[in-house]
A and B are shown apart, each in its own frame.
Chain A
Amino acid sequence: MLKSTRNIKDEVGKFILEEFLPKGYVLNDDVSLFDSGIIDSLGVIKLIAFIEEKFKIIINPSEVRIENFNTIDKITDIISKKISR
C-alpha cells in the first residue's frame, strides 16, 4: 500500500511538473498548488482529466473542489480511496 501511494504521488507530481512548472522546479508533496499559483481552476480540471485517465477512476462532480486537489498529498488520498474501493 505504501509503495502504491508513493507511485501515485510520483505520477501526479510528474504530471504537475511537466504541465504547469518550468524545468528544474522541485515540488514538495504538501505545497499548496492553488494558493501558490501553480495551478488555477482550469489547471484543476486538467489535473482531474489526467487522474481519471491515468488511474481509471471517476471523480464525481461534487468532489471537484479546490480543497481536494490543493496538495499532492490530498490528491493522492482521493485517488487511493477510489482505487481501494
Chain B
Amino acid sequence: MRDLINISIILSISILVYWVIMPGGWRKYFLFALSLFFIAVASIPWAVYFLLNVVLAYLAGSLITKNGKNKKLIITSALIWFVGSICYFKYANAIVGFFSFNGMKFSVFQQFPLSRIFLPIGMSYIIFRLIHYLVELYRNNTPRGSFIDLALYVFFFPTFLAGPVDRFQRFYPQVQERKDFAVSECNYGLFRIVCGLVKKFIIADRLAVIIMPVLHTPYSYSRPVVMFMVYGLAIQIYLDFSGYTDIAVGLARLFGYKIMENFNHPFFQKNIALFWRNWHISVYSWIRDYFFFPIFGSRASIFKLYCGIFLSMIVFHLWHAATIGFLILGIYHGIGLIIWQFFQELKKKNPLLRKVVSYKWLNPVSVFITFNFVSFGFIFFNFSGFDPIVILRTILTRR
C-alpha cells in the first residue's frame, strides 16, 4: 500500500512537471529520465545493462542505414546477440535443469551456477522492441530517430513491465509531436487506470481467492464446481493481463501518448483463429511479423503452413516462460489452430457443411466452444502450482 502511495505521489508530481514546467522539446528527455529512474529503482545494474543494449541497437541501426553493403551482416550479428540474450536469460536455467535432473547428469552442468541466472524484469519486451526496430530499419520501413527517441520507445515506463510491444513507427511521430495538455485525454487516461485497477486488484485477485483452493484440491469438489472454476481461471487470467494493459494505456494517455491495445474481446470470438487475433495482440502480431511471415511466408505449402502455425504457437507460449506447462499450451493451441485450418479446407469442399456453419444462430455455440477450448488450455498456465492432470481427471471422472 505504501508503495502504491509513493508511486502515485511520484506520478502526480511528474505529470505536473511534464505539462506545466517542461518546455515541449524537453518533455521526451524528462519522460526518458523518469522511465530510467523507475527501472533503476528496481535494479541499477539491469538499468545499465538495458541501456547498453539500446546503445548497441542504435549503433547497429546507424550502421544499417548508412552502410548498405554490410547491412545484412550487421542485422544478422545484432539479431544473434538479442535472440541469444533472451535465450540465455530465459531458457538457460530450464535447459540446464532439464539435463541435470533427468538422468543426464553431465558434470559441466552440475557446476553451472543455476541460481545466478535471473531474468531481468521487462527484458522480453525490451528485446522484442529492439528486434522490431532493427528489422524495420533494415527493411527501410521506419525512421531511425534519435537515440533518445529509441531509448524512450524501449523504456517508456507505462509499457515497460507488461507491454504492449508497441511499434516504433506508431510511437516515433508521437515523440516528435508538440502536445498540449487535454482534459479529455487526461480523463480518459484516469478512467482506463481505474478500469485496470478494478480488473486486476478487485475482480481478478478476488476471483483467485475463490478459484485457487478448488483447483489445488479438485478431487474434493463435484465436476460442475471444478468446471466453473476452470472458466473462472480463464476470466481471471484475462482480467489480470487486460487490467495491466488498461493501466498502461491510461498512464500513457496522462503523458499524451496513445499506445496500442492488447485485447479486443477475446472471449467473444467465434473461432480459435479469431481468438488469437484478439488476445495479447501486440506480442501475437510481433511473432506473426518477425517469426511466422519471414520463415514460413513465401513459397508455402500446406505442410509448411501447418508447421508455421504450430511453431509460432510454441514460440508465443515459451516466450512467456520456459516451463513444460507453456510448452504443452503451445502444442495445444498449435493443434487447435491446425484443426481449425483443416476444417476451413473441409468447408470449402463441402457445400452442405458451408451452409450449416453459415447459420447465424450457430454463432453463440461457436463462441461457447471457443471459450471452452481456450479455458481448458489455461489450466496448463499453472502459475499457482496446481496440477492440471488432476483437474482434468476430476472433470472427466467425477460426477
Contact = CB atoms under 8 A, between A and B. Distances in A.
Interface of A: 19, 22, 37, 40-42, 44-46, 48-49, 52, 58-66
B305 interface: yes
Interface stretch (B33-41, B112-120, B296-304, B317-325): B296-304
B27 interface: no
Contacts of B86: none
Given A40-B273, A42-B305, A61 B294 contact: yes
Contact of A45 (B139, B274, B300): B300
Given A42-B341, A52-B299, A64 B305 contact: no
Given A19-B348, A45-B297, A64-B294, 8 more contacts: A46-B305, A48-B300, A49-B300, A49-B301, A52-B298, A60-B298, A62-B138, A64-B297
Interface of B: 138-139, 141, 273-274, 277, 288-289, 292-301, 305, 308-309, 341, 348, 358
B341 A48 contact: no
A14 B145 CA distance: 42
A65 B140 CA distance: 13
A22 B298 contact: no
Contact of B297 (A22, A37, A40, A59): A59
Contact of A62 (B139, B277, B299): B139
Contacts of B358: 22
Contacts, number: 53
Contact of A41 (B139, B292, B348): B292
B139 to A, nearest CB: 5
The CB with the most chain A CB atoms within 10 A, among B288, B293, B294, B305, is that of B293
Nearest to A51: B298
B267 to A, nearest CB: 17
B230 to A, nearest CB: 27
Given A40-B277, A42-B341, A58 B297 contact: no
B289 to A, nearest CB: 7
Contacts of B273: 40, 42
A30 to B, nearest CB: 21
A12 B308 CA distance: 24
